[in-house]
Structure 1
Amino acid sequence: MNLLKYARWTLVLLLPLLANTGNASGIGDSSLPAFLDVDERIKIEKKGTDDNPYWQLKGIGLTTSFLVGDGKFSDSIELSDGSVIYQANFNSDGELITQIGDKSLSNFLQINGSLSAGSHGSTSWSDQPYQLLLRAELWDSDPGNSTPDVIGTFGGFALGFNTHFTDGWVANNPGLTGGSTGESLWLLGLSSGFNKLVRALDGNASNGTLASLIGSSKTIDDVTSIAAVPLPGAVWLYGTGLMIFLASRRKSTASSLAV
């Protein structure tokens, strides 16, 4: 694994610790169990009209793992036929929006796959057939103030959303969610294209805007997502275990994007 890959995994390792600082403070804390997906591809397209434009981000990943156990990344279970799909819509100011003119827009995260038998704490499950594992709405970093907000960002490598669970095996399993209705989704990347995207969404006008950085469309590869599912008292545990876990994975790049 080259230096860039190690740096990328280090960011995955450190992000939950950093998320409580700066612009990222509005995003829910990460915890276990969680879904982790690497080598994703995102696509940003300009949509709408010249007078009322918006930008739509879509992502897809096919190397999804469900992290279980007491914070041990070595206990991860790779999903069979697993997939992560997400979509977020932004106005020209980089604000997460659900409506543009008369058009309603959907911001969501969806994870599908089949899952082998496992356990977490006092909760255990048998082999699970291919199904919807998690569906959630993506919310901004302060959804209670009734206004569109810039989403959570950190540095030039991370975008963060609050989520609200709406469906799926995990969302309907109190033993895994602890009764919570949502937590967070983080997207990470080290490419210059992803860095420009994060900077355009961090609320600092001097960094440039979506309109100036992204024309009709842009595709960015090698994005990592972490979709955390909360448990009471559960926390991320850090160490070389994550590095070993990620280093042992076979690289698999998404070859198509659901549009």
Structure 2
Amino acid sequence: MKVVKYARWAFALLLPLAATTGNAVADAVPYSYNATGVGAPSWPLFLDVNETIKIERKGSGSSTYWQLKGTGSTASFWGDVDNYVNLGSDSVKYQANFNSAGKLITSIGSTSLSNYLEIKGSLPAGTFGNTSWSAQPEQLLLSAKLLDINPDNNTPDYVGTYGGFAVGFKTKFTGGWAANNPGLTGGSTGENLWLAGLSNGFLDLVNALDGNNGNGSFSSLIGSSKTIKNVVSVASVPVPGAVWLFGTGLLGLLAGRRKAAGSRQPLRNLGNEALASEG
């Protein structure tokens, strides 16, 4: 199957759900995991598919580092499973910098490095919970800094990884319509960004960042530069776990889409075949 077709559904099923060994998709048991300090996505959220990540080697000698840049333009804003809209004139981009050990860094030598997320676009009128909004013009919808798993210990830490399938970052909101809307954030000042991908290149990236020396070093897996396509990103807005509908809600959405499509394969096989696909 084409990875583009099922990346959205594989992410919806496999990231927020866990089950018994060998039967993860079929069991579909919600699981409030905490992957290396990064919480699971929750409503509302921005979801973008078909993104491209470019990873480049920068600097030289002891000042060598790797810069990840992601871009996309197929974003949706999800209030909940029955309330989602496609963004107009949308643009999603993010950047993260890593040292040779695969740890997120904010500087290398005398050079300061920026780790950020930025989502722009227009937003149709909608409702989430008790909060409603009129149509929003093209604007900055969300901006945030990407943080390591323990930003207060003054040392770079590994980013969060989950199941060899996704990479997560803590975030600190820096602006945008969503971040400045109390009805959406519940007073939160940041949440998380999750990147998921099904290609071999993305799985190598996740393995390189998980701290397992058996998977090889960050530099040996990524090399000097690499482009990875068909990446899915989910940027959450509210306090983690405030609304536990992400897993069951998207599972219901998937069921509805499958019913409408009619000819799609059974749920039990969807995640396994998607994971077998390559970008």
Distance in 2 (alpha carbons) for counterparts of 1:80 and 1:7: 21
Aligned residue number for residue 163 of structure 2: 155
Q: Which amino acid aligns with 2:61?
A: D
Distance in 2 (alpha carbons) for counterparts of 1:153 and 1:215: 20
Deviation at 1:142, TM superposition (A): 2.2
Aligned residue number for residue 12 of structure 2: 12
Deviation at 1:48, TM superposition (A): 1.0
Aligned residue number for residue 253 of structure 2: 241
The number of residues matched between the two structures is 244
Distance in 1 (alpha carbons) for counterparts of 2:73 and 2:256: 20
1:34 aligned onto 2:45: yes
Aligned residue number for residue 195 of structure 2: 187
Distance in 2 (alpha carbons) for counterparts of 1:166 and 1:59: 19
Indicate the SS of the match to 2:214: helix
Among residues 43, 65, 68, which one is paired with 1:57 in the alignment?
68
Aligned residue number for residue 210 of structure 2: 202
> Equivalences for 1:1-259 in 2 at 5 Å?
2=2, 5-6=5-6, 9-18=9-18, 20-21=32-33, 24-68=35-79, 71-72=80-81, 74-230=82-238, 233-235=242-244, 236-238=246-248, 239-242=251-254, 244=256
Could you report, residue by residue, the CA deviation over 1:168-223 in whole angstroms, capped at 9, with x for unpaired residues?
01111101100100111000011000011111111111201121122221000010
Distance in 2 (alpha carbons) for counterparts of 1:212 and 1:192: 15
Once the two structures are overlaid, the 10-residue window that deviates more, 178-187 or 226-235, is 226-235
- Structure 1 residue runs without a partner (length 5+): 249-259
Q: CA 1:178 to 1:6, structure 2 compared with 1: closer, same or farther past 3 Å?
A: same
Q: Which amino acid aligns with 2:242?
A: G
Deviation at 1:57, TM superposition (A): 0.2
- Structure 2 residue runs without a partner (length 5+): 19-30, 262-279
Q: Which amino acid aligns with 1:122?
A: N
Deviation at 1:50, TM superposition (A): 2.4
Distance in 2 (alpha carbons) for counterparts of 1:84 and 1:111: 5
- Please give the TM-score of this superposition, normalised by the length of structure 2: 0.81
Indicate the SS of the match to 1:76: strand
Q: Which amino acid aligns with 1:9?
A: W
| C-alpha contact (below 8 Å) 2:97/2:115 kept by paired residues | yes
Deviation at 1:145, TM superposition (A): 2.5
Q: Which amino acid aligns with 1:83?
A: S
Indicate the SS of the match to 1:206: helix
Distance in 2 (alpha carbons) for counterparts of 1:4 and 1:63: 12
Q: Which amino acid aligns with 2:15?
A: L
Distance in 2 (alpha carbons) for counterparts of 1:58 and 1:113: 19
Could you report, residue by residue, the CA deviation over 1:75-132 in whole angstroms, capped at 9, with x for unpaired residues?
2110001111000000000000000000000000000000011111111111100000
Q: CA 1:21 to 1:216, structure 2 compared with 1: closer, same or farther past 3 Å?
A: same
Q: CA 1:37 to 1:7, structure 2 compared with 1: closer, same or farther past 3 Å?
A: closer
Backbone CA RMSD of aligned residues: 2.2
Distance in 1 (alpha carbons) for counterparts of 2:140 and 2:3: 35
| C-alpha contact (below 8 Å) 2:83/2:126 kept by paired residues | no
Q: CA 1:167 to 1:130, structure 2 compared with 1: closer, same or farther past 3 Å?
A: same
Distance in 2 (alpha carbons) for counterparts of 1:227 and 1:244: 23
